[in-house]
Chains A and B, each alone.
Chain A
Amino acid sequence: MFKKLRKYQFLFEELVKRDFKKKYKRTVLGMAWSILSPLLTLLVMKLVFTQFFGRNTPHYTTYLFCGNLVFSYFKESSDQGMQSLMGNAAIFTKVNIPKYLFLFSKNVQTLINFGLTLCVFFIFCILDHITFTWKFIFLLYPICFLVLFNIGIGLILSALFVFFRDIHYLWSVFTMLLMYMSAVFYTIDKYEPAMQNLFLLNPVYLFIRYFRKIVIEATVPTIWFHLLIIVDVIFVLGVGCWMYKKYNTKFLYYV
């Protein structure tokens, strides 16, 4: 495995570079746009929803930003990841290289975007008078597992996209629904406890909740909460890897 990584390091670097150049078309604004767009979403949500949910929610801006930060990273990663295999069909049908490299390369890019937005997020935290505690270290946990989760989802979607091209539309409908179910802009404490537990089935919500716990409430979630995240991530990654392993030499029949 390690030897393989070394062998493909150069290729991986070149793929990352290529994706970067193509995405931003060598413009400065391209890069700025990727930060601006989640900020605009945040602004609109803040303007619209403060009336409904903002009054009783402390640090509502930060509350919203936590949701947007996680969700936009998830959405971008899964959207881009889905195209990664099909978009490189011309390459993998001619050269025998590990196909997951295309996805990883896209994930590097979205991770960088996420990192930039995260910096803006911390600036907003300061503006929102959030006290920074040592517990912020714990944010590394949801971040690491979110990266892995996104890779897993990307593996599954990119493989599925080769077989079924309409996954693209179905997924965009699904992500929209998921957004409404992830409590990005509302709070769930008005629901009954049983209903509240249902939210825990949504992995994206778990990540958002983790962020809010640490940043706004300054408490570390329970051990069960941590385990739940791990289980979700392992499941998604497992399915993704299995699909890539199973269909590794069959993808090219479908392009």
Chain B
Amino acid sequence: MSVLEVKNVSIRYMMGDFKDIGLKEYVIRKLKHNYHIQEFWADKDITFSLEKGDMLGIIGTNGAGKSTLLKVISGIMEPTKGHVKREGNIAALLELASGFDKDLTVKENAYLRGAMLGYTRKFMDETYDKIIKFAELEDFQDRPFKQLSSGMKSRLAFAIASLVQPDILILDEVLSVGDGAFRKKSEAKMREIIQGGATTILVSHSIQQVVEMCNKVLWLDKGQQIAFGDTKILCELYQKYLDKKITLAQARGIF
């Protein structure tokens, strides 16, 4: 019984004129038949499934369609084709540091973020001190958010987000936050969550991290699914590909 099933998922973005043109311009271009839209497939025909307790690493160069895929899995976007089946509740930590409000204080932002992640007020009241301690922001609680460094922001975001106890956890580049010491702490915390039985999806540019933490890997390139399978073999291939020792076609052939 798989917890997450992604079947033949394709996602199309529309590109071109429709963005940032106003209503007046839109009408005029429509009348002149000068209104152009291009399609862009961010992901094409992605298929994989995960069992309970699996940890999937998604690898691929920039623009491979990783973040888009995560948005579909988390339900923010709907796939243009194919379907996603999820069992249980899902928590997505995408691009952590964004979405905070720069005018609110650290404490207010923490509560707002907690609310967005679906926590209750009671839960936030109880765990707020823990969050601040974990993020090492005890002296900054009543500062406006804009005065914080980007590292601090990410630390807070991670501290709040890591409290979730979801069935499916989605992490986009979240483990690369903060300095070395904090990174260690956050990795330990992540392991704790995974050992709690959550099925996890991790996007990371650090192959080492993927090798250390994941048991399955999905390799994407320009929206195409290159391979899905065992971590060790795939990461080695991916490293070879990055070092330009093999081409994509070869990698596919070997796998």
Place the interface of chain B in its size category: 35 or more
CB distance from A29 to the nearest CB of B (A): 17
Interface size class of chain A, counting residues whose CB lies under 8 Å from the partner chain: 20 to 34
Kindly report which residue of chain A lies nearest to residue B118, judged by CB atoms.
A7
- Inter-chain contact A94/B99, CB cutoff 8 Å: yes
From DSSP, what is the main secondary structure of chain B's interface residues? loop
| A-B pairs with beta carbons under 8 Å apart, 24 shown | A7-B118, A10-B119, A10-B120, A10-B121, A10-B124, A14-B108, A18-B104, A21-B103, A21-B104, A90-B99, A91-B99, A92-B76, A93-B76, A94-B98, A95-B76, A95-B116, A95-B117, A97-B116, A163-B18, A164-B23, A166-B22, A166-B23, A166-B25, A254-B19
CB-based contact B115/A10 at 8 Å: yes
1/0 contact string of A120-136 vs chain B (CB within 8 Å): 00000000000000000
Q: Does B78 contact A249, Cβ atoms closer than 8 Å?
A: yes
- Give the docked Cα–Cα distance between A160 and B117 (Å): 27
Q: How far is the CA of A202 from the CA of B78 in the complex (A)?
A: 39
Interface residue ranges of A152-166 to B (CB < 8 Å): 160, 163-166
A96 touches B74 (CB 8 A): yes
At the interface, yes or no: B112 with Cβ under 8 Å from chain A? yes
Residues in A lying within 8 Å of B, measured CB to CB:
7, 10-11, 13-15, 17-18, 21-22, 25, 90-97, 160, 163-167, 170, 249, 252-254
Cα–Cα, bound, A90→B19 (Å): 17
Q: Which residues of B contact A (CB under 8 A)?
A: 13-14, 18-26, 71, 74-78, 92, 94-95, 98-99, 101, 103-104, 108, 111-112, 115-121, 124
User: Cβ of A92: which chain B residues have Cβ within 8 Å of it?
Assistant: 76
Q: Is the interface of A mostly helix, strand, loop or mixed?
A: helix
A166 touches B98 (CB 8 A): no
Expressed in whole angstroms, the Cα–Cα distance for A17 and B14 within the complex equals 36
Given contacts A18-B108, A22-B101, A164-B26, contact A96 B115 (CB under 8 A): no
Taking a contact as CB atoms closer than 8 A, the residue among B20, B99, B104, B115 that contacts A11 in the complex is B115
